[in-house]
Structure 1
Amino acid sequence: MAKKIWIALWLFINLLIFWSVGLYTSGYSLEGYLPWESAKIQEYTPIIHTFPGDEPYGILYMVDIKGNIYYYIVWEDEYFHNTIIDRLYHFFRSLVYNGNTYDIEVVKIYPDNNSVYLQTYEHTDVWATIQPDGSCLWNGQTIPDCTEKGTHVKVYVVTWNHMLSLTPENGTIRVENLPMRQMTVDDYVSLGMFRRTQKTIGGVTVNSLLIAVLITVLFNVTLYAGWKRGYLSMEYYRKLKEEIHKDLKRIRK
């Protein structure tokens, strides 16, 4: 019975170390929610340009453990120009995202190196760097005046499903006074954010779980070495206790 208790305790400690290290190094909670804060949120808020009558509700933001800022622009829905296709698309989106059909696009800002990430036509990834003169370097091309005050990147809606671009789009207007707040856990769950960010979470998770595995293995190697040297036996602790009592007696004398 005692042996089973020790095995159960060993398994529990391994599980605790593995998940604690994995979650801490990723910066994610169990649900994938990013709970961190940054003093640079207002400094880097993107400026949104969209078509008249298709303005977003607002921006929800999250911050990862490294201080990188995720700005999620929220629209009521995506509207395709064909009514039948639009209704079918609306139906399947509601199935995928737990009953809601909000459209959410992300602009990620990496303040440490002034880089920007977003998705453009056909969900193509865009990585750009903000230059000291306020321009952006994207795929070897310089985009002039792509920021305001050198930090607020200007993004333009270029498709019906709100894909974004750094180059100005004819017919778009700047959205003024767009409300912004930190994404809560309730927002994260109700908007189906885990499904929307699985790719991002997957990339972080691979690295974090690798670190967790290495730390867990190191713990077990240390534990095994201690066991081989007799440090984990009851006899060792009995002798250690006796030595401590002897030392205390000598100190008192």
Structure 2
Amino acid sequence: MVSKKWIAAWLVLNFLIFWFVGLASSGYSMEGYMPGQSEKIDLYTPIVYTAPEDRPVGILYMVDYDGVLYYYIVWEDEYFSNSLIDKLYRFFRGLVYGGATQDIEVVKVSPDNGTFYFQTYEHTNVHGKLLENGSCLWVDEKEVIPNCTVNGTHINVYVVTWNHMLSLIPAEDTERAVLPMKHMTPNDYVALGMFRRTQKTIAGVAVNSLLLAVVTTLAFNGFMYVAWRKGYLTREGQRKVRNEIREGWRKLKEWLKKRSK
């Protein structure tokens, strides 16, 4: 019969292992906030081209455990041309994002391999790679976009829809917007409803870490089950294990003593 002490220890260990593995493997809080910093953040800041009357208010950034850079371009709001649809759209956005009205588009850049990501028309993913000559490879379309960067690192992105979807292709009636940038604080993250917004764009953040935490916790429970089946969790079993450890330690000391002669 397993004692209550062992059951309590088992529950506590499950809790600690799950959360420790999840947090340690990701470098994030489990809500997706990324507190990292990087010296490369200014080197890869995207250059935003948008309609003069619809400028963003700035860029917030986060850095993940692997040094991947996330740039969040922030608009005060977004407006649909039809007033009725706009009101309905605004109502549902308020429900989804917890009352936050700001519109946010993310540009993700991985300096280590020169890849980037954002979303374009109809929220279609754009995966690209920076090329040495200042061009970009649009991986999804297998197309090279010339002169899509400044200094080979700053991606030029063009606002091409009313809800601020981005494109690598230059768009008419847009001009460069010089935007202030700062690190996203926990207060910004909460106020902007970022967890609800970023579940897809940084899915690997929480999902991979949670998966690893689940696998590790299951492995731990498998080990505990085997130990229980073999009787190691009973008092008699514990005594036997202690005796075996002492005996093993005694033999090791004897072996070391013989080796030193």
| Aligned pairs (5 A) from 1:87-236 | 87-138=87-138, 139-176=141-178, 178-223=179-224, 228=230, 230=232, 233-236=237-240
How big is the shift at 1:173?
A: 0.4
Distance 2:172 2:30 in 1: 43
Shift of 1:215: 2.1
Cα pair distance change 1:51/1:238, threshold 3 Å: closer
Distance 1:116 1:193 in 2: 20
- 1:59-93 CA-to-partner distances (Å, cap 9, x unmatched) read 00011111111100000000111222222222221
* Whole-Å separation in 1 of the counterparts to 2:207 and 2:87: 37
Cα distance, 1:205 vs. partner? 3.5
One-letter amino acid of the counterpart of residue 25, structure 1: S
CA deviation map 1:162-213 (0-9, x unaligned): 000011100100012x111111111111101111112244444443233223
Unaligned runs of 5+ in 2: 254-261
1:8 matched residue in structure 2: 8
Offset at residue 38 of structure 1 (A): 1.3
Distance in 2 between residues matched to 1:45 and 1:163, nearest whole Å: 17
- Which amino acid in the other structure matches residue 157 of structure 2? V
Is this contact kept in 1: 2:159–2:166, CA < 8 A? yes
Q: Percent of aligned positions with the same letter in both sequences?
A: 60
Name the SS of the counterpart of 2:118 in structure 1.
strand
Q: Which amino acid letter does the alignment assign opposite residue 109 of structure 2?
A: I
- Which shifted more, 102-111 or 20-29? 20-29
5+ residue gaps, structure 1, are: 248-253
- 8 Å contact from structure 2 (residues 232, 241) kept in 1: no
* Secondary structure of 2:127 counterpart: strand
Paired with 1:229 and 1:4, the residues of 2 have a C-alpha distance of: 15
Change in CA separation of 1:6 and 1:75 when aligned onto 2, cut-off 3 Å: same
Deviations 1:40-59 (A, max 9, x none): 10110000100011111100
| Alpha carbons 1:231, 1:237 under 8 Å: kept | no
Which amino acid is the alignment partner of residue 145 of structure 2? Answer: I
Q: Which range moves more in the overlay, 81-90 or 67-76?
A: 81-90
TM-score, normalising length from structure 1? 0.87
Aligned length: 245
Superposed CA deviations along residues 229-248 of structure 1, whole A, max 9, x for unmatched, are 8587453587589989xx9x
Is the deviation greater in 222-231 or in 80-89?
Answer: 222-231
> What CA distance in whole angstroms lies between the structure 2 residues aligned with 1:55 and 1:46?
14
Give the CA deviation at 1:113: 1.1
> How big is each residue's C-alpha offset from its partner over 1:128-147, in whole Å with a ceiling of 9 and x where there is no partner?
11100000111221111110
Letter in 2 for 1:46: P
Matched-pair contact (CA < 8 Å) for 1:157–1:164: yes
